[in-house]
Amino acid sequence: MSDLHNKPCILCCAITGSVPTKAANPAVPISISEQVESSLAAVEAGASIIHAHVRNADETPSSDPEKFARLQEELRRHSPDVIIQFSTGGRSGAGQERGGMLPLRPDMASLSVGSNNFPTRVYENPPDLVAWLASEMQKYEVVPEVEAFDLSHILQALRLHDEGKLFGKLYVQFVMGVKNAMPADRAVFDFYVAQMQA
């Protein structure tokens, strides 16, 4: 058996995301109760991290701290060992609204450290907002999950971590396959991994 088969694997499940609707897929969990049910099924299947978005009643993305609080409370009650990771992504709000749930002290929260062009919009993460979100995560002891959409984001994450501006151990997710951003390519992946190990 190779060493690869002996290494633990962390499964992080984004149960809802910020884009899919029930019109596109009736199974998308929108309400808090649906999200809890879906999360517990993911944990049962082996997920150890739940990446949580919340939605309004009309299915649009939300940064409402009250919704995050209800979701976190239910997840803690039904699955106390699961790692809860809140999204601070830009589809759910603008400016500091995106981090309004951080005082709830989830285990982790996503942090995009740079901007990039999506196919139909600019995903804006200006330096002052990135610095504020990182400082809030430090304040509330929330481990950032850096969402890297290209090489500059990886290098920025390494710099911020070296400067002590990110709470906890460095955790970077390579977001691959988004058009205009990081390609889903093995050679590119290997190069990015090498940057993390340098």
Q: Cα–Cα distance between 49 and 42 in angstroms, integer?
A: 9
The stretches of the chain forming alpha helices (DSSP H) are: 3-6, 32-44, 65-78, 127-139, 151-162, 186-197
Q: Can you say how many angstroms the Cα of residue 147 is from the centroid of all Cα atoms in its chain?
A: 7
Return the bridge partners of 86, or none: 52, 109
Adjacency order of strands within the sheet including 172-174: 12-14, 49-52, 83-86, 108-111, 143-148, 172-174
**pLDDT at position 1, please?**
45
pTM of the predicted model as reported, rounded to 2 decimal places: 0.91
In this structure, the number of other CB atoms found within 10 A of the CB of residue 67 comes to: 19
Q: What number of CA atoms fall less than 13 Å from residue 181's CA on the CB side?
A: 23
In Å, what is the CA distance from 183 to each residue of 114, 123, 172, 174, 190? 17, 17, 16, 10, 12
> What pairing do the DSSP bridges indicate for beta strands 83-86 and 49-52?
parallel
Residue in 37, 40, 72 with CA at minimum distance from that of residue 53: 72
Model pLDDT for residues 19-70, shown as the tens digit of each residue: 899 999 999 999 999 999 999 999 999 999 999 999 999 999 999 999 999 9
Please report, in tens digits, the pLDDT of each residue of the chain (198 residues total): 456 677 788 899 999 988 899 999 999 999 999 999 999 999 999 999 999 999 999 999 999 999 999 999 999 999 999 999 999 987 777 789 999 999 999 999 999 999 998 888 888 999 999 999 999 999 999 999 999 999 999 999 999 999 999 999 999 999 999 888 899 999 999 999 999 887
